[in-house]
Amino acid sequence: MSAPNQFRLLAERRFLPFFLTQALGAFNDNVYRNVFVILVTFGVVSGAGLDAQVLSNLAGGVFILPYLLFSGLAGQLADRFDKALVVKLTKTAEIPIMALAAAGLATSSLTLLLLALFLLGVHSTFFAPAKYGLLPQVLGDTEIVGGNALLEMGTFLAILLGTLLAGLLVAQGEHWIASATLIGIAIAGLLTSLAMPRLTPVAPGLRIDWNPWRSTWHSIQVARESRVVLLSLLGNSWFWFYGALVLAEMPLFVKSVIGGGEQVVTVLLVTFSAGVGIGSLLCEKLSGARVEIGLVPLGSIGLTVFALDLALAAPSVPASTPLTAAAFLAQPGAWRIVIDLGLLGMFGGFYIVPLYALIQERTRREVLSRVVSANNILNAVFMVAASLFGAVALGNGLTVPQLLLAVAAMNAAVAIYIYTLVPEFLLRFLSWVLVHTLYRLRVQGLENIPPTGPALLTCNHVSFVDPIVISAACRRPVRFIMDASIFRTPLLNRVFRGMKAIPVAPEKKDPQVYERAFEVVRKELAAGELVCIFPEGRLSPDGEVAPFRTGMMRILEETPVPVIPLAIAGLWGSMFSRYERVVLLRAPRKLFARITLRAGSPLAPQDVQPESLRETTLALRGHAR
C-alpha cells in the first residue's frame, strides 16, 4: 500500500491547524524583526548613540538569547504536558507581546522594542520543542518526512513573506498599521491553534527542573543518549551556521559585488526561499515517504558545489549605478547567480528535512522535546558563531565571494568529518544512488519487517550489492553476515566496513573468525537489532538459489528470534554478479533494469528448517533471477 501524498495532510485536522499556527508564528517573528531592523537602520527609532549595524546585531542577539537560557525548561514542559496545550499557551502569550511592540512603535521607544523582541524570542523558545516533538505523535511512520517537508516549506515561505511585508509596512509610514498587523497575525495564530486536537503527554511523571542552567544541561545529556542523534543535531546546527552566514551576507553581496539595489536582494531571497521549499517537498518523493538519510550527503554535495559556483559567478566589477531587478537579470551571468541560489536552497532542503525526521525517528518519544530543545541551544550557538565569523572575516579584508569560497570549503570538510564518524549516512547515500540511478528498485511485503525488536533476515545471494539493495529498502539499520572473502573485496571492503558487516569464514578454515561472527550476532540480536544472513553461504555462480547451509540454525538455537525471508530478483547478469567469471569482462550490464525485493511473512524460529526456508525464498523470488 503506497503512502498518502504529503499534501493530503493539509486537509486533516491533526495537521492543518498546527501547520497554520507554525507558519503564522514564523511570519509574525519575521515581520516584527525586520520592521525593527529597518526602523533602527534608517534612524526612525533613536539608537541612543549606537551605530545602526551594532543595533542590528544587538537585535539578533536579543532574539537568540532566550534559546540559550530557556530551551532546557521548554523541552521539559513540552514532554511533561500536552504539546497542543503548550502551543496554545504560547500563542496566547504572543498577543500581549505584540501589544508591547505596538507601544514601542507608537512611542519610538528602543527599550520597549528590544523588550518585545526578547519576549518574542522567549515565545519561540517554548514553541519550538512542542512543534517538532508533536509531529511523531500526530503522524504515521510514512508521513514524518512529508510533514517535516511541509513544515520547512511553510517556515521559509513565512520568512520570505514576513521580510517583504515588513518593508511594505515601514514604507507606509504609519506605525499603527504595522501594530495592527502584528497583533492581527498573533490573534490569527491563536485561533488556528485552538483547532488543534488534544494530545496525550508523553512523560506525565517528569519532574520539572526550574533551574535554567540545570535543565539546559539535562537536555544536552539526553541528546547524548544516541550518538547518531547527537551528530545529527550537530549536522543540523551546522546548516544554520551555513544558512545564517550566506543569508546575512546577501545584501552586502548584492550591493558591493553585483551593484544591485533592494529589488535584487528581494529577487535573490525569493529564489533561495523557493529553492528550500521545492527541495523540502521533493524529499518525500525522493525518499519514498520514509526517512532517507541518504539524501543528507546529497544535500551536502549541493551546498558545497553551488556555494563554490556562486562565488565564481560573482562579477569582477559591480555596476556603476544600482541595478533594478530587471536590469540585473539582463546582465551577463545574472541567471547563473539566480540558479546557484535556487539550487543552494533546494539542496539545503534535501539536507535539513531528513535530519529533522531522523532525529524524530531515532529519539525516544518521552524525551523528544528535550532533544529538540538541545537542538535549539546548539542552533543558537552556531548562529552566533556564524555572525562572529562573518564579521571577523570581512573585517580582516575578505571579500564576500572569498567568504563564500571559505564556507564551501568548510562545508565539505564538516561533511567528510561527520560521514566518517557515522558511515551510515554515506552508506545510505550509496544505496540511494544505486537504486535511483543504476537500477529501479521495487519492494513488496517490507511491512513484514518489524519496526522495532530483533529479527533474522534471510535472503538469496545474487550479487555483491545485495546488502546495499536491502539497506536501501529497509528503514531500519541492518547488520549483514558476509563471507569473509567477499568482505575483503577491494574498494567494496570500505563500504562493507561502513555497514558494520559481520565477516564469517568456514569453521575449518578460520575458527576464530567463525566464532567471532556468532558472538557478534548474539549481541546484536540481544540488543534488539536486525541481522541478515545469506544462507547459501556464497555468491551464486549461476543465478540460481543453492541449498541453504545450517549456520542460521545455530543462530536460532542460541537466540530464538523471528525469521523474515527475503528474495532478490533481477540482479543476475549485472556487472555486480558472477555472470562473467573474468572481472575485466564485467562491463556495465542491465543498467536501469528493474530489480525486486520481496519479504515474506515472519516465521517462528522453531518452524524454520533450511530446505523449507529455501522453498519459501524460491517462491518469493519467482522465475526471474
- Residue that is last in its domain, among 421, 454, 471: 421
Do residue 125 and residue 157 come from a single domain?
Answer: yes
Mean pLDDT of 39-68: 69
- CATH number for the domain that contains residue 325: 1.20.1250.20
First CA to last CA distance, the chain:
25
Do residue 17 and residue 152 come from a single domain?
Answer: yes
Dist. CA 479–CA 427, nearest whole Å: 12
Task: Give every strand in the sheet of 502-504, ordered side by side.
Answer: 439-444, 593-599, 563-569, 455-459, 530-533, 478-483, 502-504
Checking if the pLDDT of 589 tops 60, the result is no
Checking if the pLDDT of 612 tops 70, the result is yes
pTM of the model: 0.77
Checking if the pLDDT of 619 tops 80, the result is yes
- Residue that is last in its domain, among 421, 456, 476: 421
- CATH number for the domain that contains residue 452: 3.40.1130.10
Domain presence at residue 433: no
Percent of the chain surpassing pLDDT 90: 30
Dist. CA 465–CA 539, nearest whole Å: 11
Mean pLDDT of 38-64: 66
Checking if the pLDDT of 498 tops 80, the result is no
Q: How many CA atoms lie within 13 A of 284 on its CB side?
A: 26
% helix / strand / coil in the chain, to the nearest 5? 70, 5, 25
Dist. CA 355–CA 317, nearest whole Å: 39
- Listed ranges 27-31, 174-178, 576-580; the one with the highest mean pLDDT: 27-31
Question: What's at 224, amino acid-wise?
Answer: R
Residues 440/292, Cβ–Cβ less than 8 Å: no
Domain presence at residue 430: no
- Residue that is last in its domain, among 370, 394, 421: 421
What's the grid cell of residue 580?
A: 562473467
Checking if the pLDDT of 305 tops 70, the result is yes
Do residue 373 and residue 445 come from a single domain?
Answer: no
Dist. CA 229–CA 293, nearest whole Å: 12
- Listed ranges 14-18, 139-143, 208-212; the one with the highest mean pLDDT: 14-18
Mean pLDDT of 489-515: 79
Mean pLDDT of 332-352: 92
Do residue 179 and residue 311 come from a single domain?
Answer: yes
Domain presence at residue 62: yes
Do residue 512 and residue 407 come from a single domain?
Answer: no
Mean pLDDT of 582-596: 59
- At residue 289, the pLDDT reads 63
Do residue 305 and residue 376 come from a single domain?
Answer: yes
**pLDDT band at 586, cuts 50/70/90?**
very low
Dist. CA 96–CA 475, nearest whole Å: 45
- At residue 53, the pLDDT reads 59
**pLDDT band at 56, cuts 50/70/90?**
low
pLDDT in tens, 151-165: 888 888 888 888 888
Domain presence at residue 142: yes
Distances (CA, A) of 284 to 275, 296, 361, 381: 15, 13, 15, 30
Checking if the pLDDT of 602 tops 90, the result is yes
Mean pLDDT of 491-502: 74
Mean pLDDT of 74-102: 94
Checking if the pLDDT of 274 tops 80, the result is yes
Task: Give the structural domain span for 514.
Answer: 440-621
Per DSSP, the residues of 527-561 read TT-EEEE-TT-S--SSSS-PPPPSHHHHHHHHS--
Coil vs helix vs strand at 67: helix
Distances (CA, A) of 390 to 135, 243, 249, 278, 538: 34, 12, 8, 28, 56
Do residue 491 and residue 606 come from a single domain?
Answer: yes
Dist. CA 427–CA 499, nearest whole Å: 7
Mean pLDDT of 186-213: 91
Span of 226-230, 567-571, 610-614 with lowest mean pLDDT: 226-230
Residues 13/195, Cβ–Cβ less than 8 Å: yes
Of 428, 465, 492, 437, the C-alpha closest to 574 is 465
Domain presence at residue 490: yes
Do residue 348 and residue 447 come from a single domain?
Answer: no
Helix H or strand E segment including 134? helix 110-138
Q: Compute the radius of gyration of the chain from its Cα atoms.
A: 27
Checking if the pLDDT of 46 tops 70, the result is no
Dist. CA 460–CA 577, nearest whole Å: 13
pLDDT in tens, 408-457: 999 999 888 877 777 777 777 877 777 777 777 888 898 899 888 999 99
Counting the structural domains of the chain, the total is 2
Checking if the pLDDT of 472 tops 50, the result is yes
Domain presence at residue 40: yes
**pLDDT band at 590, cuts 50/70/90?**
low
Do residue 504 and residue 407 come from a single domain?
Answer: no
Mean pLDDT of 575-602: 69
Do residue 409 and residue 505 come from a single domain?
Answer: no
Written in H, E and C, the secondary structure of 487-504 is: HCCCCHHHHHHHCCCEEE
- At residue 584, the pLDDT reads 42
Do residue 377 and residue 234 come from a single domain?
Answer: yes
Do residue 145 and residue 44 come from a single domain?
Answer: yes
Checking if the pLDDT of 138 tops 50, the result is yes
What is the pLDDT of the chain when averaged over all its residues?
A: 85
- At residue 459, the pLDDT reads 93
Q: What are phi and psi of 148, to 5 degrees?
A: -65, -35
